[in-house]
C-alpha cells in the first residue's frame, strides 16, 4: 500500500507544481510590462486617425493583448474542465484499470497542453518585448 502512494505523490508534485511555477513566472513578467505601458507607441497614427475621424486610443498592441487574453482565458477554462473530468473518472474508476488509465491520460494531457500553451505565450511575450 505504501509503495503505491509514492508514485502518486510524485505525480501530484508534477501535476500541481509545474503549472503553478509556470504561472508564477508568467505573471511576474506582467509587473515589468506595466512600466513599459507608459511609453507612447502610436508612431503618429493617433494624429492621422483623428484627422480621418476615426476612434483613437486603441492600439494594435492593446487589441492583440485583448485577443491573447481571451484565448488564454478559454484555455484556462478548458484546462479546468479537463482536470475536473479526469478527476471524476479517477474517483469513479472503482478498480477498473482501463478507466483509471484513461483518467490519468486525460489529466496528463491537460497539464502538458497547458504547459505548452503557457510556454508559447511566455516565449511570444519575451520576443515581443525584445522587438519593441
pTM score > 0.85 for this model?
A: no
Query: What's the whole-number average pLDDT of the chain?
Result: 77
Mean pLDDT of 52-74: 77
Label each residue of the chain as H, E or C: CHHHHHHHHHHHHHHHHHHHHHHHHHHHHHHHHHHHCCCCCCCCHHHHHHHHCCCCCCCHHHHHHHHHHHHHHHHHHHHHHHHHHHHHHHHCCCCCHHHHHHHHHHHHHHHHHHHHHHHHHHHHHHHHHHHC
Q: Where are the domains of the chain?
A: 76-132
Note the pLDDT tens digit of each residue in 68-77. 878 888 888 8
Closest among 94, 114, 83, 122 to 18, alpha carbons compared: 114
> Which segment of 7-16, 27-36, 110-119 scores lowest on mean pLDDT?
27-36
Amino acid at each position: 500500500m505504501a509503495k503505491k502512494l509514492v508514485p502518486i505523490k510524485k505525480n501530484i508534485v508534477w501535476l500541481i507544481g509545474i503549472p503553478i511555477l509556470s504561472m508564477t513566472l508568467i505573471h511576474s513578467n506582467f509587473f515589468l510590462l506595466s512600466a513599459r505601458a507608459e511609453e507612447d507607441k502610436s508612431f503618429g497614427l493617433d494624429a492621422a486617425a483623428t484627422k480621418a475621424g476615426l476612434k483613437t486610443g486603441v492600439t494594435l498592441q492593446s487589441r492583440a493583448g485583448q485577443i491573447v487574453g481571451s484565448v488564454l482565458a478559454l484555455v484556462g477554462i478548458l484546462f479546468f474542465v479537463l482536470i475536473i473530468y479526469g478527476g471524476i473518472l479517477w474517483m469513479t474508476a472503482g478498480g477498473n484499470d482501463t478507466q483509471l488509465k484513461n483518467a490519468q491520460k486525460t489529466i496528463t494531457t491537460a497539464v502538458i497542453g497547458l504547459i505548452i500553451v503557457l510556454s508559447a505565450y511566455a516565449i511570444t511575450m519575451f520576443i515581443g518585448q525584445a522587438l519593441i
